[in-house]
Amino acid sequence: MHFDASSVLLSAMDMFDDILTDYLEKTCDTEPALLQHINRETYLKEISPHMLSGHYQGRLLAFLSKLVSPKRVLEVGTFTGYATLCLAEGLAAGGEIHTIDNNVELEDRVRGYFAQSDFNGNIHYHIGDAAVIIPTIAGPLDLTFIDADKKNNGTYYELALEKSRPGALILIDNVLWKGKVVNEAADSQTQQITALNNQLANDERIDKLILPVRDGLFLLRKR
């Protein structure tokens, strides 16, 4: 009988992650009712529901936004609008959030979610190519959240950094990529993420650190 120690270890880690996530969610602020609804519907209707930020990471995004109290927020990758509404919680009076996605099939449902929120008038929802749309958005940006197609993260980062004020935050999601960056996986997507992580680690224009939250969140502060 062959004993696969690595499989046992991974199973134990997955179990620990589930237990830890449950504890973290119990000890942070509760998920607002609308976000609970979006969370449930996303898992019922979408083929990749794991793309949703979720309860704990959503509270982290809201917390960071409240610390910054941004007047202008950029989000690249709307998906079902969950993170958008979390980021909107910290907006300064009269602030606005520009969120960009290229999935036209989700547009009506996402606009419906926004219409049910207290932030509908603060949200500008763009459908199209983020690399084309970002340069048209007025700056300066106070907070940016990048959670879209990973191969273009470097482009989105540079465009956002150019429009960001000194002291602004830029957040990039999925930078640990299910641990593949640590294990130096050879697939192209992992290599793209690793290359950007290395670039950011040596970028003297920013202060930086990775939070090991879910799939890894890079926190960057423009100097």
- Quote the CA–CA distance of 159 and 132 in Å, as a whole number: 10
Which residues are CB-contacts of 11 (< 8 A; sequence separation ≥ 6)? none
pLDDT in tens, 138-172: 999 999 999 999 899 999 999 999 999 999 999 99
- Residue 8 pLDDT > 50, yes or no? no
- Quote the CA–CA distance of 144 and 220 in Å, as a whole number: 10
In percent, how much of the chain has pLDDT > 70? Answer: 93
- Quote the CA–CA distance of 57 and 101 in Å, as a whole number: 20
Domain chopping of the chain, boundaries:
5-222
- Residue 17 pLDDT > 80, yes or no? no
Query: If pLDDT is split at 50, 70 and 90, which confidence band does 10 have?
Result: very low
Share the mean pLDDT of the chain. 92
Burial class of 85 by CB neighbour count within 10 A (0 to 12, 13 to 18, 19+)? buried
User: Residue 94 has what pLDDT?
Assistant: 96
User: Residue 2 has what pLDDT?
Assistant: 52
The CATH number of 5-222, from 3.40.47.10, 3.30.420.40, 3.40.50.620, 3.40.50.150, is 3.40.50.150
Segment 85-101 mean pLDDT = 98
Q: Which residues of 66-214 form beta strands (DSSP E)?
A: 72-76, 96-101, 123-127, 141-146, 164-173, 206-211
pLDDT in tens, 168-184: 999 999 999 888 888 88
Which amino acid is present at 16?
A: F
Query: If pLDDT is split at 50, 70 and 90, which confidence band does 186 have?
Result: confident
Highest mean pLDDT among 3-12, 80-89, 208-217: 80-89
User: Residue 25 has what pLDDT?
Assistant: 93
SS3 state at 173: strand
pLDDT in tens, 118-137: 999 999 999 999 999 999 99
Both tokens of residue 183? Answer: 């294990």
